[in-house]
């Protein structure tokens, strides 16, 4: 999807590559545009990155990318928000974000291909069995901008009671004998998770969770580390007696898009609410 913008008085006389970087384009994207036939035009004519632009010029960026998946019209997920830059889906549990050798046609990428077509650019990613908000950028420029202008709030149901609130700071590394599993280990990467208990029934506790870092399985690993693994999380020791998937939900995304801040909410799934209802 082409991106079109107007050169402002503040950008008058600057080189195109300087303007693109100031607007959030990565060096990788600029290089790809340079190598794409017709990737950068000004008022309908080709323009180079070293050319200087003038106020009122209309610059159009047209990228080509092969990151597409086969459409699957049988898939469904609610759209929580949509504008010219981004679409936010309410991803159901059980749906992977990306295709893999075990999931060729049942992913959010396949849904995107059937509903919108073109390149699939998720700005945030969730595990297959984690539900909630997933933002997908419509263009690479939007993806570059959103990567640095997005914040998330998760809701997790853990086993037991972790306390009223707290911050878990513990380095996370890959388990040496596993491709998937992570663990807390001294030589791991710094990781920080903050939580606040919302409700509970003695057996389970619903927590509002904010990540300062974004390590793989961070919430799952940290709650297991403090002795309160997520309900349904068999990989990290959570009880699967009352739910068949990890009780983790991305409930809120705050994005800077089209020059304004937007907060998108996904309601807590009924199966998670049920876990913390009074017994």
Q: Do the Cβ atoms of 217 and 182 come closer than 8 Å?
A: yes
Q: Do the Cβ atoms of 7 and 55 come closer than 8 Å?
A: yes
Angle at 178 between CA 175 and CA 181, to 5 degrees: 60
Angle at 154 between CA 157 and CA 87, to 5 degrees: 135
| Longest alpha-carbon distance in the chain | 69
Where residue 191 falls (left for φ over 0; alpha for ψ -120 to 50; beta otherwise) is: beta
Closest CA to 188 of 170, 165, 171: 171
Task: Mention every residue, 6+ apart, whose C-beta is less than 8 A from residue 44.
Answer: none
Catalytic residue (choose from 127, 129, 187, 233): 127
Closest CA to 69 of 133, 143, 119, 137: 119
127 is catalytic: yes
Residue 20 and residue 6: Cα distance in Å, rounded?
A: 12
Give the residue numbers annotated as catalytic, written as ranges: 127
């Amino acid at each position: 999807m082409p991106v079109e913008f107007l050169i402002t008085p503040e950008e008058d006389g600057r080189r195109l590559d300087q303007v693109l970087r100031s607007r959030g384009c990565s060096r990788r994207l600029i290089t790809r545009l340079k190598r794409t036939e017709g990737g950068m035009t000004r008022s309908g004519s080709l323009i180079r990155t070293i050319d200087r632009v003038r106020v009122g010029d209309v610059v159009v960026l047209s990228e080509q990318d092969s990151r597409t998946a086969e459409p699957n019209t049988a898939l469904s997920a609610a759209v929580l928000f949509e504008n010219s830059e981004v679409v936010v889906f309410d991803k159901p549990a059980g749906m992977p974000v990306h295709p893999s050798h075990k999931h060729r046609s049942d992913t959010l990428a396949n849904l995107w291909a059937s509903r919108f077509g073109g390149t699939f650019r998720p700005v945030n990613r969730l595990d297959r069995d984690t539900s909630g908000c997933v933002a997908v950028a419509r263009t690479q420029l939007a993806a570059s901008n959103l990567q640095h202008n997005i914040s998330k709030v998760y809701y997790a149901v853990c086993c037991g009671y972790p306390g009223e609130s707290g911050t878990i700071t513990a380095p996370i590394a890959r388990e040496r004998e596993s491709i998937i599993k992570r663990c807390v280990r001294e030589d791991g990467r710094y990781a920080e998770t903050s939580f606040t208990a919302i409700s509970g029934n003695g057996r389970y506790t619903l927590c509002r969770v904010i990540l300062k870092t974004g390590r793989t399985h961070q919430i799952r690993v940290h709650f297991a580390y403090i002795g309160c693994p997520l309900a349904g999380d068999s990989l990290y020791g959570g009880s699967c007696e009352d739910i068949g998937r990890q009780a983790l939900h991305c409930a809120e995304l705050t994005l800077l898009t089209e020059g304004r801040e937007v907060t998108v909410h996904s309601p807590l799934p009924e199966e998670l609410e049920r876990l913390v209802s009074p017994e």
